[in-house]
Structure 1
Amino acid sequence: MNIILVPGFWLDASSWEEVTPPLTAAGHKVYPLTLPGLESADAPRAGIGLRTHIDAVVAKIDSFDAPVVLVGHSGGGAIIHGAVDARPDRVARAIYVDSGPLGEGGVINDELPADGDELPLPPWELFEDADLTDLTDDLRAMFRARAIPQPRGVAQDRQQLKDERRYEVPATIIACEFPTSMLTEMIAGGHPFVAELGRIRDVDYVDLPTGHWPQFTKPAELGAAILAAVDGTPGS
């Protein structure tokens, strides 16, 4: 199976490097992406928005003749959901890592402090304690050293969706900060935060307790969870 890995904010393709070994060892082909504006600290970010990143993922999907699995971490979850909407017949499964599908009109995060056209990685004090679970001082220093400013438009643009066949694409939620039981309770209660997730017909829930960056805090466990989800997908 061709697996496309979409990083969250401030990260490039290399952020997946400790996650991919079990996937490649199982014979899958893995394609971690560096999205537009994340190529380097000096890359231009003006004019890059959510649709720019969705289109980059769609272009990668279109480069294959067979269906793919999409994996999106954090803000990457909104991006892969937009790609699922654009190519519902080409995605075998969408895997959301501590994230979920962003519905029509939603934004990823319009509260992050901006500096012109970009969003630098904020001070740790701006994150919730649950975000930072298992993120040691060494891991924080590593993350900050490699962090690339996020294009502001990606965080603030509104999601635009058009094809309800997206709800037919199987999904897997790998929940880290909060247990999956909380998500299912929110869906049952009709909470608007999970309204789009609640419309997907086939969803598997996996608990991977750690902070918001499991690719750094529990990479082997994350790789195993992604592998299990992929291997449970028809055609894999």
Structure 2
Amino acid sequence: MDVLLIAGLWLDGSAWDDVAAELRSLGHHPVALTLPGQGDGAATATLDDQLAAVLAAVEATEGRPVVVGHSAACTLAWLAADARPEKVAKTVLIGGFPSADGSSYADFFEMRDGAMPFPGWGPFEGPDSADLDDGTKKAFEAAAIPVPEGVAKGTVRLTDERRFDVPTLVVCPEFTPDQAKEWITAGDVPELAKAKHVDFADIDSGHWPMRTKPVELAHLIATAT
């Protein structure tokens, strides 16, 4: 089955190399996306540009792909389900939740020269990064790609309520399924509160399981196929 892999902020498609290799060994066809502005050198890319790239990948598949989003890119996976509900078989959301209509995509940290650079590890101390050793952190930081302002400050637009019919798997790394369910019940994740088919899976990792638990993550993604 086709599995589209969308990495979160500061990452390009290579973040999925180990996960993709395991998915291939399981008989699937993973496609790791390098988004406009996050690996292709397009510093002026916008959220619309990134969504267009995701939708082009969806349309390029012969069947109905599983669309996987990590962290902020959970919203991109959700936007794909909104734009192509008849084409997306399932969304897999890793370490994040879809933003609501009208909200900013990922305006989280300081902008410098028209982009949002990786802010260092201070904001991610604790469960987010507890499973990353110093070498992995240094490699991550050295390779981090500043996110264009037009992406980070882009406005999320959702228009088709058929997105709520698309099944979703929420993979919980630095938080638990019980916590995720509590947040959804409390109204903190209104999109998933309206979704009709939501499952949860736990993975014992920090925020970047594709780095520290790629085999386990691949097997969880495979369950969604």
1:234 is matched with none
- Answer yes or no: is 1:180 the counterpart of 2:177: yes
Report Cα offsets for 1:129-188 as digits up to 9, x if no partner. 222120110110111122111112222212001000000000000011110101112222
Distance (whole Å) between structure 2 residues aligned to residue 142 and residue 220 of structure 1: 20
**Is 2:158 the partner of 1:161?**
yes
What SS does the aligned partner of 2:36 have? coil
Query: In the aligned structure 2, how far is the partner of 1:213 from the partner of 1:171?
Result: 19
Do the aligned residues in 2 keep the contact of 1:178 with 1:209 (CA within 8 Å)?
no
Shift of 1:78: 0.7
66-75 or 151-160, larger mean C-alpha shift: 151-160
Give the count of matched residue pairs: 225
Q: Give 1:64 deviation, angstroms.
A: 2.1
1:218 aligns to what?
A: 213
Structure 2: runs of 5 or more not aligned: none
For residue 213 of structure 1, report the CA deviation from its aligned partner. 0.7
* 1:56 counterpart letter in structure 2: A
TM-aligned CA distance change 1:106 to 1:150, over 3 Å = same
Contact 1:4 1:32 in 2 (8 A): yes
Distance 1:22 1:44, change over 3 A: closer
Hey, which bits of structure 1, 4+ residues long, moved more than 4 A? none
Percent of residue pairs identical = 36
Matches within 5 A, 1:1-236: 1-39=1-39, 43-46=41-44, 48-189=45-186, 191=187, 193-230=188-225
What CA RMSD, in Å, does the superposition of the two structures yield over aligned residues? 1.3
Q: Normalization by structure 1: what TM-score?
A: 0.91
How many angstroms apart in 2 are the aligned matches of 1:140 and 1:18? 17
Match of 1:233 in 2: none
Secondary structure of the residue that 1:60 maps to in structure 2? Answer: helix
CA distance in 1, matches of 2:172, 2:39: 28
Relative to the length of structure 2, the TM-score reads: 0.95
Unaligned runs of 5+ in 1: 231-236
